[in-house]
């Protein structure tokens, strides 16, 4: 049940339609289910990255992501 709520709240957050109460609920879900933090963080990064990709930015984006990967 919490997974459906997690998905709905994450989507609302990403499209900018989440209320303060919904953002708090999402934060509480992640605190109560730490394994879900990966999902929320990945979706947020993907959503934000997609908006940044334009012609000529792919290599810069790749290098930025590569720099965050720890060997």
Q: What is the pLDDT of residue 64?
A: 76
Q: What is the DSSP letter of 15?
A: T
Number of domains comprising the chain? 1
Under 8 Å CB-to-CB from 36, ≥6 apart: which residues? Answer: 2, 3, 6, 29, 30
Q: What is the pLDDT of residue 19?
A: 95
Which positions of the chain have pLDDT values less than 50?
Answer: none
Domain hosting 34: range is 2-68
Is the full-model pTM beyond 0.85?
Answer: no
Under 8 Å CB-to-CB from 61, ≥6 apart: which residues? Answer: 49, 52, 53
């Amino acid at each position: 049940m919490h997974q459906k709520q997690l998905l709905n709240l994450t989507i609302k957050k990403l499209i900018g339609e989440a209320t303060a109460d919904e953002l708090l609920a999402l934060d509480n879900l992640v605190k109560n289910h730490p394994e879900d933090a990966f999902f929320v963080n990945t979706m947020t990064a993907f959503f934000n990255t997609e908006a940044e990709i334009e012609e000529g930015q792919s290599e810069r984006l790749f290098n930025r992501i590569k720099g965050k990967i720890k060997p």
